[in-house]
Chain A
Amino acid sequence: MFKNLFRIIFTLLFFVLLAGAAVAAPPIKIGALFSVSGPASFLGEPERNTAQMMVEQINKAGGIKGRKLELIVYDTQADATKAVQAVNRLIKDDKVVAIIGPSTTGDSMAVIPVVEKAEIPLISCAAGIKITEPVKKWIFKTAQNDVLAVARIYQYMKEQKISKVAILTVSDGFGSSGREQLVLQSKDFGIEIISDETYGPADKDMTVQLTKIRGSAAQAIICWGTNPGPAIVARNAKQLGIKTPLYMSHGVSSKRFIELAGDGSEGIILPSGRVIVADQLPNADPQKKALLSYVNGYRKQYKVEGDHFGGHAWDAIMLLKRAIERGGDSPAAIRDELEKTKDFAGIGGTFNYSEQDHAGLTKDAFVLVQINQGDWKLIK
């Protein structure tokens, strides 16, 4: 009795699905690799949420030229082996036409050889400069280079007549890349690094390093890391009564940092994408419209503030959407159209890709913000 009933239901279901598939054009499959869990989940989670939100929005508005998008997300856990397995799965089993992510520079570097060989366009959401330098045919990225963030800070310091700095960087991918740039660019801006300290990603107390720095003649301290380390630095500096101005990297430009650092965050200056100060921007800013739409949409859907990490995924999806609208959904066409992207005002900045530049941003992608009474304040 039941067996027969099931059989009928399944047969019906099968025909309904078949009919549905015949009517609607097949969806355009886009792969995504984010470190949703593991040590870099602070990047992967907002990125995944944003990508899913964007795909929902695009599909609700009728898709791209009547075709829906299908987003397939795999978690890399910031582990190179898992990232390579996942990217193989996306390319060979899911047969995606383009990939966004991974979230970290390490994962991106790990999957690049696979993606290049398969000839699938990839838009990385990681910041490391070596992802797009030298330029690789199929690889683009949306996250601002560390180079630009460092340049932004140094330029401001030069204006403030600061010439002696102490740097305190975390010993992970983000920190070591930042440290390299801080040392490299210091000469160009006439800035002298008189103290060069590091801390481990899991360290719980940085008073030792800060005490050393306090004894030096540094006019400013630059700390390069991602949560929670810099928050501890900020609190330790306050406890030690250090009055030297503290600068941070764009790695902490989310509300979480202010919560973690508490009072210690007051007065800290950092470069950031415009997303955290979207409502303070002048109306003439070309990015303002996109920023407000993203911030409001994210708040509505997930009940938390969107940050600029999620913005990288927003930009990646929108860049793909525009490329597919212009040139169709074959991987080669998407790549060619991506390279022609001009003046696209997204979340991270205004993108201009070209044959020589697959990162697409200038140092104007960063603004400097200061933390004032537990909120961000745009400088100038």
Chain B
Amino acid sequence: MTKEKRQILIFLIFALALLITPFFLQGSYYLNVLVFIGIHTMLAVALNLLLGYAGQISLGHAAFFGLGAYISGILTTRFSLDPWLVIVLAAVCAATIAFVIGFPILKLKGHYLAMATLGFGIIIYIIFNETVSWTGGPSGLSGIPSLHIGSWIFDNDLYNYYLIWIITLAVMLLSINLSQSRIGRALRAIHDSEVAARVMGINARVLKVQIFTVSAFISAIAGSLYAHTMTFIAPASFGFNFSVELVTMVVVGGLGSIYGSFLGAAILTILPEFLRFFHDFDIIIYGLLLIIINMFMPGGLISGLQSLAEIAAAKMKGKTRGDA
């Protein structure tokens, strides 16, 4: 089997598994958790394109998520615009903002880039909080309508599950394709050495801004979908903590692995359910998780599991040979 065929097969199995999952979870609240995992996966994939492939950190990605959510929320509640149209509008808006700030910001490197994106995230967070007449301020914006196609309203977990996951799977497929195209290779070249990449004739400056814009676009779509499934949004969901959580998802799952982003998003969404008795300490546990994974699985869970499997396979082989 060629590599390409194998990849298509893996994706089909993954998609099929997700699409039949609801039949085993009917009426359970885990379906609701899976809806959030879908949204988080979309965000983690978006950030992974930037962080995992191009190697550019963003500590302000929750801002793009929030922009999508708030633009959708405000335009549908206050101006009764069509929700689907607004999703596209919100994504274009967020992408435009990313494009404009991308040029100056992405000139920075390392800690300075982290600081600049962090600052951007905080500015947007403050705007959500302070423009009370538009956003409803800290106590949130309610009454956001559910999405609908004709008379089919996405207002329960099952419908939302399919809505979110079909879009998430599409985003994943596009991202996998993108990562294996010429652009994907160019991004990885920038990641390894920007100077070398430029010598090879890659326009690193523009490419970084482009991938930042794409990442913001996807994040904003995730934000819009979040707003319509929750029907309520508050600034606290789009703060600095959430930006860090997103970075954690990507790093835990595996930098530069699209399936890894799913794994990271799933683990960090389910984990708090099990860590409830740690309360305020869950942020410390996130930290510990990051340290441990970076120490023992520097490529993230996906590649860590792969190498574990290889080691196990090698051991088994050795054992059978020894026995013989």
Contact = CB atoms under 8 A, between A and B. Distances in A.
A260 interface: no
A80 B32 contact: no
Interface string B147-162: 0000000011100000
Nearest to A74: B276
B233 interface: yes
Contacts of B36: 81, 85
A24 B236 CA distance: 44
Contacts of A133: none
Nearest to A126: B139
B130 interface: yes
B129 interface: yes
A176 B155 contact: no
A39 B138 CA distance: 12
A106 B138 contact: yes
Interface string A243-264: 0000000000000000000000
A173 B138 contact: yes
Nearest to B32: A88
A89 interface: yes
A106 B130 contact: no
Contact of B140 (A39, A85, A92, A109): A109
A177 B138 CA distance: 9
A171 B138 CA distance: 7
Given A80-B140, A84-B230, A106 B236 contact: yes
Nearest to A40: B236
Contacts, number: 88
A130 interface: yes
A53 interface: no
Nearest to B231: A113
B29 A172 contact: no
Contacts of A36: 279
Interface in B130-145: 130, 132, 137-140, 142
A176 B137 CA distance: 7
Residue with the greatest number of chain B CB neighbours at <10 A, chosen from A75, A92, A106: A106
Given A80-B232, A89-B29, A37 B272 contact: no
A211 to B, nearest CB: 22
Given A109-B139, A176-B138, A85 B273 contact: yes
A85 B142 CA distance: 17
A85 B237 contact: no
Nearest to A172: B138
Contacts of A177: 139
A92 B29 contact: yes
A140 B280 CA distance: 29
Interface string A93-133: 10000000000111001101100010000000000101000
A92 B236 contact: no
Contact of B232 (A113, A173, A180): A113
Contact of B27 (A39, A92, A104, A110): A92
Interface residues of A, number: 36
Contacts of A109: 139-140, 142, 232, 234
Nearest to A201: B138
A357 interface: no
Contacts of B232: 80, 84, 109-110, 112-113
Contacts of B236: 39, 78-80, 106
A82 interface: yes
A173 B137 contact: yes
Contact of B233 (A80, A93, A171, A175): A80
Nearest to A92: B29
A180 B138 CA distance: 13
Interface string A1-43: 0000000000000000000000000000000000011110000
A64 interface: no
A106 B139 contact: yes
Contact of B28 (A81, A84, A93, A104): A93
A277 interface: no
B280 A37 contact: yes
A106 B136 CA distance: 10
Contacts of B155: 117
A180 B139 CA distance: 12
A38 B280 contact: yes
B133 to A, nearest CB: 10
Contact of A93 (B29, B129, B231): B29
A39 B239 CA distance: 13
A171 B272 contact: no
Contact of B230 (A80, A171, A176): A80
B74 interface: no
Interface in B226-278: 230-234, 236-237, 272-273, 276
B33 interface: yes
Given A88-B32, A92-B27, A82 B272 contact: yes
A291 B187 CA distance: 66
16 contacts: A36-B279, A75-B276, A81-B36, A82-B272, A85-B32, A85-B36, A88-B157, A104-B139, A106-B140, A109-B234, A110-B230, A110-B232, A112-B232, A130-B142, A171-B137, A172-B138
Interface of A: 36-39, 74-75, 77-82, 84-85, 88-89, 91-93, 104-106, 109-110, 112-113, 117, 128, 130, 171-173, 175-177, 180
Top 10 nearest A-B pairs (CB, nearest first) are A173-B139, A92-B29, A37-B279, A173-B138, A88-B32, A88-B29, A106-B234, A110-B232, A176-B137, A172-B138
Given A85-B33, A110-B140, 17 more contacts: A36-B279, A80-B232, A80-B233, A80-B234, A82-B272, A84-B32, A85-B36, A105-B139, A106-B140, A109-B139, A110-B142, A130-B139, A171-B129, A172-B129, A172-B138, A176-B138, A180-B132
